[in-house]
């Protein structure tokens, strides 16, 4: 804990650190992370801790590794993109999962959300229909139990199967279970392109009728025809706040997004799960139907809003040679069209390839960064530039988000002040979580701290060369222990799973 602040020159200390000319802040809280998968194999949390992140909020976008029902365990495992050693999905309860997660320690603290997709798989597999009354009750009970066991709230991923199969009423019903135990609702909303505003309104409705706070995840307007809509989305958030609903959002400081390649497919292509999808794509008639849907210009079709030259393959398990290349170019080299190249790659990689989409607008991004109720969330994971975690060309946000806000957007572009930038990584997310003893520098608060050089702090990870740590983050302390000291990882693992106050 922080035991004193101020002029301590007369005090005696075990260790003294000279930080003259540097900035001392609370440790950063990554409001939107997917590290629940990677941290199992990367206890050192390399790419995050080196940015100054001391707490990550995981279980986002509707997907968490628990709870699991034995009946649908294989469906969940097949759906997971990355299953590290030790992740058995054998936990009888959310509490058992948290225990397993916590057993070996982590470099940083972790806050766990429950994914609605995971709940839905546990209750009804990959069925593309509304739940029966019994199935809905089961989801609600699993949600309530997970809250008892240490979860902080519910997340949805409404562009991803099976989350996308849910109607709003279902989500409200599950959200109410979380609300009863003071959880919040984080949403990857149903549309981030042409239907952005409707999707924000739906998230707000869940907050209003579910009676819980709402976090709009990675707010953006995707696709050139939709640029300029982020300020409108923020107006909806402001209006809801004026109505008394606690709505906030998070953003990452890049104009490209990233997700799985299979997201290009219509959501019905995943009905029944990954194996069913692969079977469908192996059948010429079915494949032609999928293909037609990919090409048809619909409101949220990714293909109709970004050109294939703006789709970069970022990770493949097998076709390593394709990483870093654009789909337009891959198709040309293979002498087929881009839709065919994409579908073939989804098949060859069994649905586990990733892409980066260059589809966002800089002015929209600045509007989000400057908005008082938008905080920072990376949407990335704890990676490392060595071993299996150093593979591919993942989105640079996993390495650069926080230093990029401080360096590029606060110092260089002056989109926001340094103090505001820090607040969006500390006090603001702490307020969202209801964390009173983190995210602040105060006597009695937990000693999660960062020392950085405001003149030098900068991200170095790029789309071409993403596995690069930032500059200027000198010391990072988690729960009173150095994890980064003079820019080097100490190997210390003082982080823990946090449970709600």
Interacting residues with Zn ion (CB under 5 A): 61, 188
Residue nearest to Zn ion (CB): 188
Residue 116 contact partner, candidates Cu ion, Zn ion, none, CB within 5 to 8 A by sort of partner: none
Q: Which is nearer to Cu ion, 61 or 264 (CB)?
A: 61
Give the binding site for Cu ion (CB under 5 A).
60-61, 379
Contact (Cβ atoms closer than 8 angstroms) between residue 352 and residue 322? no
Question: What region does 86 belong to: left with phi over 0, alpha with psi -120 to 50, or beta?
Answer: left
Residue 55 contact partner, candidates Zn ion, Cu ion, none, CB within 5 to 8 A by sort of partner: none
Helix (H, G, I), strand (E, B) or coil at 169: helix
Q: At what angle do helices 274-282 and 284-295 cross, to 10 degrees?
A: 100
Contact (Cβ atoms closer than 8 angstroms) between residue 79 and residue 131? no
Helix (H, G, I), strand (E, B) or coil at 435: coil
Residue 37 beta carbon to Zn ion: minimum distance, rounded to whole angstroms: 14
Which stretch of DSSP H or E encloses residue 293? helix 284-295
Contact (Cβ atoms closer than 8 angstroms) between residue 222 and residue 360? yes
Residue nearest to Cu ion (CB): 61
Q: Which is nearer to Zn ion, 66 or 251 (CB)?
A: 251
Residue 356 beta carbon to Cu ion: minimum distance, rounded to whole angstroms: 14
Residue 329 beta carbon to Zn ion: minimum distance, rounded to whole angstroms: 26
Q: Which is nearer to Cu ion, 170 or 250 (CB)?
A: 250
Residue 376 beta carbon to Cu ion: minimum distance, rounded to whole angstroms: 13
Q: Which is nearer to Cu ion, 60 or 177 (CB)?
A: 60
Residue 220 beta carbon to Zn ion: minimum distance, rounded to whole angstroms: 10
Q: Position of tokens 């190249």?
A: 341
Q: Which of 54, 41, 37 is nearest to 107 (CA)?
A: 54
Contact (Cβ atoms closer than 8 angstroms) between residue 221 and residue 230? yes
Q: Which is nearer to Zn ion, 115 or 494 (CB)?
A: 115
Which ranges of 58-132 does DSSP label H, i.e. alpha helix?
73-79, 94-102, 116-124
Q: Which is nearer to Cu ion, 330 or 461 (CB)?
A: 461
Residue 188 beta carbon to Zn ion: minimum distance, rounded to whole angstroms: 3
Residue 63 beta carbon to Zn ion: minimum distance, rounded to whole angstroms: 9
Q: Which is nearer to Zn ion, 190 or 424 (CB)?
A: 190
Residue 267 contact partner, candidates Cu ion, Zn ion, none, CB within 5 to 8 A by sort of partner: none
Contact (Cβ atoms closer than 8 angstroms) between residue 96 and residue 43? no
Contact (Cβ atoms closer than 8 angstroms) between residue 57 and residue 435? no
Q: Which of 143, 10, 164 is nearest to 64 (CA)?
A: 143
């Amino acid at each position: 804990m922080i035991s004193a602040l101020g002029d301590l020159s007369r005090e005696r200390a075990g260790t003294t650190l000279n930080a003259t000319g540097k900035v001392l802040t609370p440790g950063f809280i990554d409001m939107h992370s997917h590290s629940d998968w990677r941290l199992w194999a990367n206890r050192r949390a390399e790419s995050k801790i080196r940015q100054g992140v001391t707490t990550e909020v995981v279980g986002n976008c509707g997907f968490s590794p628990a709870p699991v029902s034995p009946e649908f365990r294989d469906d969940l495992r097949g759906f997971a993109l990355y299953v590290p050693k030790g992740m058995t999905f054998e936990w009888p309860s959310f509490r058992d999962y948290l225990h397993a997660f916590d057993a070996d320690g982590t470099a940083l603290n972790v806050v766990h959300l429950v994914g609605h997709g995971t709940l839905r798989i546990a209750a009804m597999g990959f069925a593309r229909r509304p739940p029966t009354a019994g199935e809905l009750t089961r989801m609600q009970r699993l949600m309530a139990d997970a809250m008892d066991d240490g979860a902080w709230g519910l997340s949805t991923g409404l562009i991803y199967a099976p989350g996308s199969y849910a109607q709003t009423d279902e989500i409200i019903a599950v959200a109410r279970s979380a609300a009863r135990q003071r959880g919040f609702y984080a949403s990857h909303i149903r549309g981030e392109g042409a239907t952005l505003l409707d999707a924000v309104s739906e998230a707000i409705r869940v907050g209003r009728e579910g009676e819980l706070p709402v976090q709009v995840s990675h707010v953006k307007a995707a696709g050139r025809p939709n640029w300029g809509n982020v300020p409108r989305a923020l107006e909806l958030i402001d209006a809801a706040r004026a109505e008394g609903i606690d709505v906030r959002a998070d953003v990452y400081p890049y104009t490209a997004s990233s997700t799985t390649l299979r997201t290009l497919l219509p959501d019905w292509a995943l009905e029944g799960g990954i194996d069913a999808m692969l079977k469908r794509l192996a059948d010429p008639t079915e494949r032609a139907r999928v293909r037609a849907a990919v090409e048809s210009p619909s409101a949220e079709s990714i293909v109709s809003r970004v050109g294939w030259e703006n789709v970069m393959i970022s990770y493949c398990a097998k076709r390593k040679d394709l990483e870093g290349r654009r789909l337009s170019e891959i198709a040309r080299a293979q002498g087929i069209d881009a839709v065919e190249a994409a579908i073939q790659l989804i098949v060859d990689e069994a649905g586990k390839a990733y892409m980066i989409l260059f589809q966002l607008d800089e002015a929209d991004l600045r509007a989000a960064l400057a908005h008082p109720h938008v905080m920072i969330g990376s949407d990335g994971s704890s990676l490392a530039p060595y071993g299996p975690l150093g593979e591919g060309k993942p989105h640079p946000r996993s390495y650069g988000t926080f230093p990029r806000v401080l360096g590029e957007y606060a110092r260089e572009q002056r989109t926001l002040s340094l103090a505001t930038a820090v607040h969006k990584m500390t006090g603001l997310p702490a307020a969202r979580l209801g964390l009173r003893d983190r995210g602040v520098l105060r006597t009695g608060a937990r000693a999660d701290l960062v020392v950085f050089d405001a003149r030098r702090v900068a991200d170095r990870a790029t789309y071409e060369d993403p596995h690069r740590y930032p500059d200027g983050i000198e010391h990072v302390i988690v729960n009173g222990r150095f994890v980064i000291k003079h820019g080097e990882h100490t190997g210390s693992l003082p982080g823990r799973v946090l449970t709600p106050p």
